[in-house]
Every structure is written in C-alpha cells, then in structure tokens.
Amino acid sequence: MKTRREFVQSSLCAGASAFLPFHLQSLSGGHEQNTRGSKPNIVFILADDMGFSDIGCYGSEIETPQLDELASGGLRFTDFHNCPRCCPSRAALLTGLYSHQAGMGMMTADRKIYPYPAYAGDLSQDTVTIAEALKAGGYTTMMAGKWHLTPLNTGLHNYPLQRGFDRYYGIINGAASYFDPASLTDGNDPIQVSKEDKDYYLTDAVGDRSAQFIEDAAKEGKPFFLYAAFTAGHWPLMAPEKTIAKYKGRYEAGWDALRAARHSKQLSLGIVQREWGLTPRDPRVPAWEFASFHEWEQRRMEVYAAQIDLLDQNIGKIVAKLRQLGILDNTMICFMSDNGGNAEEMARVSEGQARPAYMPHLTRGGLPVNPGNDPSVMPGSATTYQSYGIPWGNTSNTPFRLYKHYAHEGGISTPFIVHWPRGIKQKGITHAVGHEIDVMPTCLEMAGVAYPALTKVGSPAPALEGKSLIPVFDGRPLAERSLFWEHEGNSAMRDGKWKLVSRFPDSWELYDMEHDRTEMHNLADRYPDRLRKMISTYAAWAKRVGVQPWPMPETPRGSDRDGSLPTPDYLLKDRP
C-alpha cells in the first residue's frame, strides 16, 4: 500500500500528464474552431481591488449598467476565485500556473529580498503567457492598463512587449495617481501626461486606448486578444467631481445598512445562499451610529463608487467599439477582479518624509499632495491620496470574511462574467467552482491554439495547472480537482465542497462551502481525519510549487508583512 506522501506524489504526476494533450494539440484543432466557426476575439477585463459585491449584478447599488448587461446576456459565476493580492493574481492569470510557479509568491517590490525562485518578484522567464501563446497562434495581442509583474528600473525583459504583447499602454507599477500616473508607459517608452491635458483620468485613458487598439486590430483581419487591466478601484481615492456627485448622500445610512442591503439583493439574484448568512461586521469597526466622522466616511465610499462607475463606463467604450465593428457576437469578453476588496489604510506622510514612487509630492498643476487617511481632508481630488479602509472594504466583500491579503473568501472571491453570444450555450448563473488559473487553458482551447512545448528562453514549458471552462459554457460540469492558495502565510485549499484555510499565524480551519461559504462554522474539531488529510495534501502542493514557511528568514521585521491590518487611529475614537 502506498504511503500518503507516495499517493500524493503519484496523483500530482497523473494531474500533470492530463495536460499532455494540450502540448500536442495542433494549431488547427480546438473546440471553438471545430464547432463554432471562425476563431473568436478575446477581451479580458480586470478590475483592481474590487470586492465581490461591488457591481450591480452581484449585489451593489453602484451604477454598472454595462457589466449588468454583459451578465444578463452571458454567464455569471458565483464561485470563482483569484489570488489574494495584485502581483500573485496577475502572474497566475497570465500563465495558467500558481503564482509561486511564476516567481510571484510575493510582490515585485520584494525582488532580490528572497533567494527562492517562487519569490523572485519578477515574472519567471520559464513560463508562457497567454499573449505569447496566442501570438504564436496567429492572434494580434494588445494590453492597456496595469502590468505589475516586473519592477521598474530593472530592464525591459519582462515588460508587456517582451512577454507577448504587440502593443501596450499603461502603468508598470502597482498603483498611481489617477490624474497624473507614475510609471506611465507607451510600448517600452516612459511617458508623462501633458500639463495641458486638464481632463486626463487613467481609467478613461485605459478605456480609450483599449477601444483604439480594437479598431486598429480589426483592420488587420486577424483575431485579437486584448487584456484591459484597469486600476479602478485600487487606492488612491480619486475621481472627477461630477461622477462623485452622483453618489452624494447615497451612503448616509452607513456601512451596516449597506451590507444588509447588498446581502438582500444578492439573495434575490441567487448569487448567495440564505443558509450561509451574513458575516458579522469586522470587530475593529464600530456600528455606524458610533462612527466619529460620518461626512468623511460617506465621502470615502462616494469616491470609491465613482471609481467603479467610471470603470463600468469605460467597459462600455470597449463593448461599443466591438458592436460598431460588428464583431461583438464572436468576441469572448471576460470580467473579474484581481483580488478581494482592500482594507488597507493609507498612513499619513509628514512633510519631508520619503514617499514611494507612485505617490507624488505635487500635482501636475503644482499643488501639494496631502497623502494619508485624514478625516479632516475630504478625498477625491488630485491633492489627496487616501483609501476607503477597513469599514468599506468589509462592505465590498459582502457577505464574506476578511480582505485582500487573506485566503478566506473575502480575499479570494471575485465576480466572473463571460459574454460570448456565439460560443456560450449555458447562460445565466453557474455555481461551478473556478479559478483564474483556468483562464489560459480556456482561451487556448476556444482559440484552437496549442500550448507551446517551450518557453521563449527555450526551457520546457511547465504543465498548465488550470482547466478549460468550455464545459461550463456548454452546461456540462467540470471534473473535480483541488485548488490551493498561499500568500504571506495565509493559506487555503479547496477540495470539492470542503475548504481548509488559515490566517497567519492562526490554526487551520475547516468549512463546508456548500452550506457555509461565509466560513462562520469551523468544523476542524468535528472532522479530524479529513482535516489531517487535507493538511497533508496542502503540504505536498506547497512543497511542489516552492512555498516557504512564513515568515522567511529574510522577511523584513516590523513591516506588517503578515498582511495584518492594525486598527487605525480614527477607528480607535469610535467607541460608544
């Protein structure tokens, strides 16, 4: 009889061999070309730090008619997952691998801190991106928006044009002012927004450039892949005042009422199950009636709502261009967020204190920027640099627990919408379990494009970890598989209806996701054998992909690198 370790190892080998047909598939094969006509175009739209409930068709009061329309004419996933943070999520999405396998167990800012391949902080050259594979298969490949897969000032080896994209416009860093973004790049060239461009707003620029890319690509007569990676709704809280004004007074009832309203709408939409319940308010957050700074708190959420509203408006530009060109029906549009809603609080920065590259000292007009969550300063303009923090992050992730950084559902659950009139038979809502590592195999199968045997540097391409979602599009079930997460010691495993999860440095928890996806009833003590088996399976996966024990010896001390979010000063005042 095999030992548990031998059984896990043999299972992993069997899982890898299941992907061999993908390596051998010819460019003329594939589901889409054989059964649905000409090769489809692909538009993949990524939001940034947007929570599960932040768009209308997933429970929000924010006006998102474009996304709502795509959902009504397509497929909405209720159980789709990302990674808990920006860099790991984007690496997994673009390679079909777990983030550690792509060198992105941590962030690009951690480059050269950790002597482990899984934590290189620079997208591994021993991987294949979606753009590289599709370009080799005859697609025009384009990207607009946030890259965040290589550090600045370390060479062009991992810029978008060097990783398979024909055209690129966006920011290389992970954050930027919306009115004057640092690290703005056109192709390989750094650029700056002109001082004369008074109306520049990054979300608008990404939407405009995406639409232009589509128009240009359509003239070539080839299928195209567009990756539109918006920065909305990542901090800083910034939006044109006319859009913020749409939401004036909408949040005067506070976060408790808003969470309840969103949950009620989710129930009516069939997005969540009543038996799961709504998680309690974060214990660091007071009841709304005891909050000290109502006007400021409302303004924070008003600006965030405006950011998501503008994201939706610019998705509308993309859809309008596809419709104008007569190619909407044969274009697969996918939408998701890179991680759960963000509870990070922006620390105040004193005059003369060093600032990160993405945080300007002055606006383009020469006015000083006042960074940090200060209740005496209303956010929204280019002179501020704030976040919406723990209370509203808790709301964004309704009905789930925790946030970005963590492997509980609030950190790894995302809306996932697929709209493809010519290719999706099963429309409406699906409860199939998916993960962003599934995006690459899905795109390749529908495009009839082979997964390369070699990377661009000549090394063997690692076997894809994800599975094609084409069966779901056809109304068929996906084969059962296990999924895994790890970031900053926050770890999880999903096996069927069971989820193993731990917030560092806490103990393992076990949940029945069929009856308790809000993770409020820990069953670890009730099912010790299942718990031990899942821990063993997780450990085998962690070893396979290069996960290191957290914190690592090289982890900077005193830097909250465990993803902890201390209670900010303004909340310490809010007690009855």
Residues with a catalytic annotation lie at: 86, 148
Using a 10 angstrom Cβ sphere, with 0-12 exposed, 13-18 middle and 19 or more buried, the burial of residue 147 is buried
In whole angstroms, what is the distance from residue 486 CA to residue 104 CA? 11
CA-to-CA distance for 223 and 221, rounded, in angstroms? 7
- Smallest CA-to-CA distance from 151 within 178, 131, 193, 123 is with 123
For residue 242, count CB atoms less than 10 angstroms from its CB and return exposed for 0-12, middle for 13-18, buried for 19 or more.
exposed
Strand blocks (E) in 192-350: 224-229, 331-337
Q: Which structure tokens are listed for 439?
A: 């995006």
Radius of gyration from C-alpha coordinates of the chain: 22
**Ramachandran area for residue 380 (φ above 0: left; ψ -120 to 50: alpha; else beta):** left
As a whole number of angstroms, the distance between CA 562 and CA 576 comes to 30
- Strand positions, DSSP E, 117-238: 140-146, 167-171, 184-186, 189-190, 224-229
DSSP-assigned letter for residue 394: H
Reduced to 3 states (helix: H, G, I; strand: E, B; else coil), residue 288 is helix
- 163: DSSP letter: G
Q: Is the peptide bond before 549 cis (omega within 30 degrees of 0)?
A: no
- Strand (E) or helix (H) holding 33: helix 31-35
> CA 472 to CA 83: how far, in whole Å?
21
CA separation for the pair 344, 357 (Å, rounded) = 18
